[in-house]
Structure 1
C-alpha cells in the first residue's frame, strides 16, 4: 500500500472510532463520571463535617469553595487519573489533564488562597469604619476562596482514589 492509501485508511479508521465514541452515552464516560463523583464526594464531606462542627445543615457547603478536602483538586485529579487509566499514562490526553490538574491545584493554594486572606483583611477594615462612612454597610467579601496545601493534597488523594475505584469497577464488570 502506498503512503497516500495508508493515510486514507488511517484517516478513515480514526473517523470511524471518533464517531463511534461520540455516539456513546455521556453516562458511560468514565473520566467524566470519575470527576463528577470526586466533586460530589468532596462537597458531601464538607457538608457533613460542617454539620458535625456546627450542629446545623449548611446547604452552602454543597456548592461553596474552600475547605477540606479541596473539591477542585479532587475533580481534576480524578479526571487526570481516569484518563490515565483509560487512555494510558504516556499519552497526550493524560499529559493535558495532568497539566490542567497542576494549574488548578497551584492556583487553589496560591492566588485563590491569597485572595481569601485579602478579603479577610478588607472585611475587618470595613467592619471598623464609622457608621457614616459610605462603605460601612457594604456586603462582606467571601473569605473562603482558596485552600491550604493539606486541603489540596487531601482533595488530590480523594480524586485518585475515586478514579481508582471506578477503574476497578470497570475491570470487574468486563
Structure 2
C-alpha cells in the first residue's frame, strides 16, 4: 500500500488539507527527490541552519522564497551559449540540473539570512515566539481591595424599608 486515501476526511473537514499533506509526506507516500543533498542543523536553543550542496551553482543561479509557512530553494543553471569544441565535457559527475527543494517551517520560524560558500548554500533560521505567546508566571497574592463583609439579610431588609 503506497498511498492512504484521505478523501473521506476531506468531505467532513475544513482547513486540514495542509495537515493531511504533511502526514502523507512524513509517511513516505510522496516520493521525495534526493537532489540536491542537504543537512538540517540545530545551532542553539532557537536557531537552525539548512545547508544545501549546490556545487556548480552561483548566487545568480539560486533563489530562496518564503511563502505561507514554507521555504523553497530553487536552482537553475544558466546556459552560457555553445561551448567550444576544445572545452567539451567528457564525463559530467557534478549534476547541474535544475532543482526545487521545499521545507515546511513551523510557526514563528523566520529566515535570518543566506550565504553561499564553497559550493554550500547556508540558510539560517530562528524560532521567535512573540512575547504574548510566551509562558509567563502569574503571582499569587491577596488583593489590595478591602475584604468582603458578611451581611445579615435582616439588616438589608431594614435598610430597604427606611
* Same structural fold, with TM-score higher than 0.5 when normalized by the shorter chain: no
> Which of these two proteins has the greater Rg computed from alpha carbons?
2
TM-score (norm 1): 0.23
Structure scoring higher RCO (CA < 8 A, sep ≥ 6) equals 1
TM-score (norm 2): 0.24
Q: Quick check: which one's helix share is greater? A: 1
Q: Quick check: which one's strand share is greater? A: 2
